[in-house]
DNA sequence: TATGAATGAGCATTCATTCAT
DNA sequence: CATGAATGAATGCTCATTCAT
């Protein structure tokens, strides 16, 4: 189906290699610190090829950021009918694993570090990443509110509370200290506590939901991919 | 009182001018992108003067980071007996104003962006900033727990919940989008909502405390300095 | 035969131009005084090309020294059966011409001037130049001793006497005074006198040999290449 | 007698300190490699003082070279009536010790290394050093010739033979290899051999003189100061 | 199409030199 | 008189970018 002429396939493969190399170099050295030489060498292509494919350092950077942003933040996944608490539990771990993945953190550091020089990139990142997740979460929370399981006035604030309660602390720490990825146990603490506070504040049946949460938490950290 | 010889005063003034210029240039261009020429020009001194004062680009950067961090993060201020809710309210606005100040955000972006190349600076930032505030907050919360006003198991988690509920959303947005400082009204929303959730989860007398919060919130945003 | 691709030929030509320019600039300004800008300008290439070819100033210098030393000091040439005196005469003129050549003197001044900072270069120069000649001379003298034409205990000392008698004075003068190359007539004086002393001290048949020397000397200075 | 006003004495002391420091720095780093900062620091004075005393780097260098040249090469000392061979023996050791002294070698390397950029300095060095010694030696040799002890046509050549036979080899080696000072035993070899060849060539009574030389040589190396 | 080779402009840093005190 | 502080002009070296092949 999607079979391409060998020419085009070759071109795409090279493009991929360049983008991958560029990500590594940019993430490690920052925009200004990265050199086209380093990227070309890591990709195993010559520098003119780089320029033929991407025009300039700035364009390469922009292309890369767009591409990464789209590929790393998968769509918000509709949870699968396990009930409120189990669904929130799954959601929390899924986003923790995504957002605290070293590659994702490197990208976030890059975006933040260059936000002043490349404002559009930062803004686009926000729009495509966090805000999309937020909207997905809002829809989900609104559905649960309609089912009578949650109670709140402002779905956006509720969604942001959820993120802030669970991910703010470990993410901030990891952003500033690249060597300090939260351990699985710490994460378990943050997830459990964050959900507990969330349910206390928003559940219409906190007794039941907190009990369920405790049960889930007792099974220990969910094993993830990071 | 502490009158200085004109020599020393002149030197200090020049030092200040250099550091201020350096902050601007580093914040705009990142560490690698910043040029000593640009800093010298903005400070109105010659390049050798820069080197006489600070030794090297790296030392200038480190000095700047330390100095900015220390000057911007005032000590954690013991609240002054207005009662739990008013105290939390004051605290929230104080830290919102500090943490969301444009200069502080620039500094944070810089620290984050260079975290991979200057790990000590990122770590020192954590230790001097967030962690100090966190410890202050924990002490405060523990005192309130002793007074029977709050209930929680883990003071650290509670303190981090407070920060995450109030500041995570606007700070993340501002970090990624330098042009998007939260408006006063938005901040009011975040502060009010964050404290509401916190009190629902931790207050031993939520009815009373939430009523007080609502009263405070109705007076509108606290006017700050930024 | 060894025809090269135009690429390679071009490269080698440029390399030559750079090395020639470097010799001139280094010889005139010393290692520290020489600037890569000056070398590049004289060679008619851009500075980055210099670095692509030779990596660094130090490497360029080292390469240059090795190359010059090897190209200037031809192998010790076995004399060709003209008899003792004529052979010594030819040898003396050959080495006088080599050692007192302006380029060779520049190189020697450079090596000496930088001996403290580049000890290996000075040592390598000794090993490849004087010591090789010395060994060649020792072999020759030993052969003549075996033929009964010369008498001495220590071939090394004899060889060094020969060099010192003939070349020490003009070389020392030329080393210190770049503008003062010995005139052909002066050289004739040194060569004739040096060989006379040498033969008086070492010949087993001084009467005959000195007569031959006088005959050679009367034909005037040997015309050389410098 | 030579008591000076304290002012002037202080000035001269400082001048001395500067010149001594300059010698060290120039000798170690060459003219271009030496920095006025380094000289000032080593002398313990401020840079403007350097310029007040000596005007410029070039003038400081010139002054230094003149001063050193005059102070290091003492006058040719008239030998003291020990007889031809003992006098030559003493002379040889005296000049070996002078010329092979590490400080003197450093100075010579400097002069040679900078001969192209400072031609007058090299020429002046020749005139004040070697040539003065040479003239003294010529006078001495002529006197011995008048006494009937030596026989030669050209006193200048004879004097240069003496120098070349004794000092050429060790000095050349030491010039090129700063770390390789000739050992006392080597020097003994060179002195003994050089004088032997000289006497064979020029003595009117070689049998007697060579015997005396052998006797002197058997007492081992003359102990010197280096 | 892909590349080895080239370069102008800029980098952090240091220099010899000179004020202002 | 001596100096702390300042600087214009290099220095060695690297960068993003572009020919010529």
- Quick one: A148 and A165 in the same domain? yes
| pLDDT at position B108 over 50 | yes
Mean pLDDT over residues D185-212, rounded?
A: 96
Q: Which position has the higher pLDDT, C47 or C180? A: C47
Tokens for C42, please give them. Answer: 């004289």
Q: Residue B5 — pLDDT band, cuts 50, 70, 90?
A: low
Helix axes C84-99 and C206-218, enclosed angle (nearest 10)? 50
Measured distance CA(C148)–CA(C204) in Å, rounded: 7
pLDDT at D78: 67
Residue C39 included in any domain: yes
Instruction: Give the C-alpha distances (Å, rounded to integers) separating A164 from A122, B194, D87.
Output: 20, 10, 99
pLDDT at D1: 47
Tokens for C122, please give them. Answer: 């000075």
Instruction: Give the dihedral sign, CA B49/B55/B57/B62.
Output: negative
D205 in Cβ contact with C150 (< 8 Å): no
pLDDT at D104: 87
> Is the shortest CB-to-strand distance from C51 to strand F under 7 Å?
yes
What's the CA B59/C1' E9 distance, rounded, in angstroms?
26
| pLDDT at position C17 over 60 | yes
| Chain A nearest C-alpha distance from B161 (Å) | 5
Please report the DSSP string for C117-171 in residue order. T-HHHHHHHHHHTHHHHHHHHHHHHHHHHHTTSB--S-HHHHHHHHHHHHHHHHH
- Quick one: D64 and D123 in the same domain? yes
Measured distance CA(C140)–CA(C78) in Å, rounded: 8
Name the 3-class secondary structure at B150.
strand
| pLDDT at position A70 over 80 | no
| pLDDT at position B225 over 60 | no
Q: Residue C180 — pLDDT band, cuts 50, 70, 90?
A: confident
End-to-end CA distance of chain C: 31
Residue C31 included in any domain: yes
Phi, psi at C150, each rounded to 5°: -125, 160
pLDDT at A103: 85
Would you give the DSSP letter of residue B181? P
- Quick one: D45 and D75 in the same domain? no
Neighbours of B127 (CB within 10 A): 13
| pLDDT at position D113 over 50 | yes
- Quick one: A99 and A41 in the same domain? no
Count of positions (residues) in chain A: 226
Residue B181 included in any domain: yes
D52 CB contacts (<8 Å, ≥6 apart)?
A: none
Count of positions (residues) in chain D: 226
Contact D28 C197 (CB under 8 A): no
D78 in Cβ contact with D209 (< 8 Å): no
In this structure, what CATH number is given to the domain that contains residue D40?
1.10.10.60
| pLDDT at position B45 over 80 | yes
Contact D112 C165 (CB under 8 A): no
- Full domain range(s) for residue D6: 1-55
Last residue of a domain, one of C13, C29, C55: C55
pLDDT at B146: 96
> Is the shortest CB-to-strand distance from B10 to strand F under 7 Å?
yes
- Quick one: D115 and D5 in the same domain? no
Measured distance CA(A47)–CA(A52) in Å, rounded: 9
End-to-end CA distance of chain D: 34
Instruction: Give the dihedral sign, CA D124/D125/D131/D136.
Output: positive
Report the percent of chain B where pLDDT is more than 90.
Answer: 66
Class of residue D38 by CB neighbours under 10 A (exposed 0-12, middle 13-18, buried 19+): middle
> Is the shortest CB-to-strand distance from A34 to strand F under 7 Å?
yes
Phi, psi at A77, each rounded to 5°: -95, 125
Q: What chains are in contact with B, requiring at least 3 Cβ pairs below 8 Å?
A: A
- Quick one: C106 and C26 in the same domain? no
Measured distance CA(C120)–CA(D120) in Å, rounded: 30
C163 in Cβ contact with C134 (< 8 Å): yes
- Quick one: A9 and A26 in the same domain? yes
Measured distance CA(D105)–CA(B16) in Å, rounded: 51
Report the percent of chain A where pLDDT is more than 90.
Answer: 65
B85 in Cβ contact with B192 (< 8 Å): no
Q: Residue B32: which of A27, A32, A180 has the nearest Cβ?
A: A32
| Chain A nearest C-alpha distance from B9 (Å) | 34
Measured distance CA(B188)–CA(B192) in Å, rounded: 6
Report the percent of chain D where pLDDT is more than 70.
Answer: 91
Contact D29 C117 (CB under 8 A): yes
Neighbours of B61 (CB within 10 A): 19
Percentage helix, strand, coil for chain D under 3-state DSSP, each rounded to 5: 75, 0, 25
Last residue of a domain, one of B29, B55, B81: B55
Mean pLDDT over residues D103-130, rounded?
A: 88
Measured distance CA(D51)–CA(D59) in Å, rounded: 10
Please report the DSSP string for B73-106 in residue order. SPPPPPP-SS-HHHHHHHHHHHHHHHHTSHHHHH
Mean pLDDT over residues B12-16, rounded?
A: 91
| pLDDT at position A127 over 90 | no
Count of positions (residues) in chain B: 226
Measured distance CA(A196)–CA(A192) in Å, rounded: 6
Q: Which of B67-76, C119-128, D46-55, D159-168 comes out lowest in average pLDDT?
A: B67-76
Mean pLDDT over residues C151-169, rounded?
A: 96
| Chain D nearest C-alpha distance from C136 (Å) | 16
Q: Which of A113-122, C178-187, D1-10 comes out lowest in average pLDDT?
A: D1-10
| pLDDT at position D4 over 60 | no
Would you give the DSSP letter of residue D182? P
| pLDDT at position C225 over 60 | no
Measured distance CA(B185)–CA(B191) in Å, rounded: 10
What's the CA C35/C1' F9 distance, rounded, in angstroms?
14
Question: Which nucleotides on chain F have any atom < 7 A from a protein Cβ?
Answer: 1-21
pLDDT at C138: 94
| pLDDT at position C204 over 80 | yes
Residue C119 included in any domain: yes
What's the CA D159/C1' F13 distance, rounded, in angstroms?
52
Closest CA to C89 of C183, C182, C218: C218
Q: Which of A88-92, C211-215, C220-224, D141-145 comes out lowest in average pLDDT?
A: C220-224
Q: Residue D196 — pLDDT band, cuts 50, 70, 90?
A: very high
Measured distance CA(A152)–CA(D122) in Å, rounded: 94
Q: Which of B47-56, C89-98, D1-10 comes out lowest in average pLDDT?
A: D1-10
- Quick one: B138 and B112 in the same domain? yes
pLDDT at C151: 97
Residue C223 included in any domain: no
- Quick one: C116 and C209 in the same domain? yes
Measured distance CA(D161)–CA(C162) in Å, rounded: 10
Residues of chain A found within 8 Å of residue B175, distances taken between Cβ atoms: 112, 115
Residue C224 included in any domain: no
Give the distance, in angstroms, between the CA of residue B176 and the centroid of all CA atoms in the same chain.
16
Last residue of a domain, one of A55, A76, A96: A55
In this structure, what CATH number is given to the domain that contains residue D132?
1.10.357.10
| pLDDT at position B226 over 50 | no
A65 in Cβ contact with A125 (< 8 Å): yes
| pLDDT at position D53 over 90 | yes
D39 in Cβ contact with D21 (< 8 Å): yes
Judged by CB atoms within 8 Å, which residues 138-167 of B form the interface with A?
154, 157, 160-161, 163-165, 167
Name the 3-class secondary structure at B155.
helix
- Quick one: D79 and D25 in the same domain? no
What's the CA C64/C1' F21 distance, rounded, in angstroms?
30
pLDDT in tens, A81-99: 789 999 999 999 998 988 8
Asked if B115 has any chain A CB less than 8 Å from its own CB, the reply is yes
| Chain C nearest C-alpha distance from D167 (Å) | 8
Measured distance CA(C216)–CA(C11) in Å, rounded: 48
Task: Report the run of H or E that residue D141 belongs to, with start and end.
Answer: helix D130-146
Q: Residue A164: which of B165, B176, B189 has the nearest Cβ?
A: B165
Q: Residue A126: which of B29, B157, B177 has the nearest Cβ?
A: B177
Neighbours of A80 (CB within 10 A): 8
Angle at C214 between CA C212 and CA C220, to 5 degrees: 115
Measured distance CA(D149)–CA(D209) in Å, rounded: 10
Residue A99 included in any domain: yes
Residue carrying the six token digits 């919940």: B161
Measured distance CA(B135)–CA(B130) in Å, rounded: 9
Residue B224 included in any domain: no
- Quick one: A82 and A134 in the same domain? yes
Name the 3-class secondary structure at A150.
strand
| pLDDT at position A226 over 70 | no
Measured distance CA(D114)–CA(D32) in Å, rounded: 9
Asked if D115 has any chain C CB less than 8 Å from its own CB, the reply is yes
- Quick one: D37 and D62 in the same domain? no
D200 in Cβ contact with D206 (< 8 Å): yes
Measured distance CA(B148)–CA(B208) in Å, rounded: 14
Residues of chain A found within 8 Å of residue B167, distances taken between Cβ atoms: 164, 168
Measured distance CA(C81)–CA(C60) in Å, rounded: 42
Closest CA to A76 of A94, A100, A61: A94
pLDDT at C81: 79
Measured distance CA(B87)–CA(B84) in Å, rounded: 5
pLDDT at A7: 63
pLDDT at D26: 94
Q: Residue A76 — pLDDT band, cuts 50, 70, 90?
A: low
Number of domains making up chain D = 2
Would you give the DSSP letter of residue A118? -
Q: Where are the alpha helices (DSSP H) in D84-129?
A: 84-99, 102-113, 119-128
């Amino acid at each position: 189906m999607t079979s391409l002429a060998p020419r085009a396939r070759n071109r795409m493969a090279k493009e991929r290699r360049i983008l991958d190399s560029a990500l590594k170099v940019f993430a490690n050295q920052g925009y200004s610190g990265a050199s086209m030489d380093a990227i070309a060498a890591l990709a195993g292509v010559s520098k003119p090829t780089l320029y033929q494919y991407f025009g300039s350092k700035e364009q390469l950077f922009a292309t890369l950021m767009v591409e990464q942003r789209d590929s790393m933040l998968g769509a918000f996944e509709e949870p699968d009918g396990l009930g409120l608490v189990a669904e929130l539990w799954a959601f929390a771990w899924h986003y923790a694993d995504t957002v605290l993945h070293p590659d994702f953190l490197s990208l976030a550091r890059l975006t933040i570090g260059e936000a002043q020089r490349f404002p559009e990139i930062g803004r686009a990142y926000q729009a495509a990443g966090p805000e999309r997740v937020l909207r997905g979460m809002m829809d989900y929370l609104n559905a649960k509110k309609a089912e009578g399981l949650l109670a709140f006035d402002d779905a956006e604030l509720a969604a942001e509370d959820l993120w802030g309660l669970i991910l703010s602390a470990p993410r901030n720490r990891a952003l500033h200290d690249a060597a300090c990825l939260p351990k699985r146990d710490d994460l378990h603490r943050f997830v459990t506590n964050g959900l507990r506070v969330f349910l206390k504040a928003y559940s219409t049946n906190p007794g039941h939901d907190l009990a369920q949460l405790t049960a889930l938490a007792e099974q220990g950290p969910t094993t993830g991919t990071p």
